[in-house]
Amino acid sequence: MLSKTFHLVHVIIHGIVLTRSPVAYGLEESVTVKKQQRLVLRCRTRGNPVPAVVWYKDGKPLNAASKRVRIKTKRRRSTLRIRCVKEEDAGLYECRPNNVIGSGTASRSKVTVVKVTASPSSDLTSKLTGTNLRPANGKNV
């Protein structure tokens, strides 16, 4: 305890700032991803000491226990990956930093998930536009 007190007094005397409020930044404001694709969100942080990061979706801590969800944080960078995106993955994602000072400014991204609609291939379309199409009863069309 004495060494911690002495350290604090030392900091005040010399005017050294050892701590800085945490800030997250770098998320795209809006992201659109196709259903069944992979979503990747990356944020960076500032602060001293180096902030820890907690990811949130729609205001609730993200469940990283899912096999589809991976969170990797290394120093001042954090990456959220979601495999095989589902419609329920759409929402507001936040990268919230915190350190000994407390929670800091979050970086946010609105994620929209769109359905993949199949369109006929050009090869199939060209085969269907020929002049020899016959209905099942054998008459010309």
Nearest residue to 129 (alpha-carbon basis) of 116, 112, 141: 141
pTM of this structure: 0.71
Residues 118, 124, 125, 128, CA torsion sign? negative
Find the range with the poorest average confidence among 16-25, 35-44, 49-58: 16-25
Find the range with the poorest average confidence among 10-14, 23-27, 109-113, 125-129: 10-14
Half-sphere exposure of 128 (CA within 13 A, CB side): 6
55 is a domain residue: yes
CATH number of 34's domain: 2.60.40.10
10 is a domain residue: no
Domain count, the chain: 1
Q: Who has greater pLDDT, 94 or 17?
A: 94
Nearest residue to 31 (alpha-carbon basis) of 115, 87, 92, 106: 92
102 is a domain residue: yes
120 is a domain residue: no
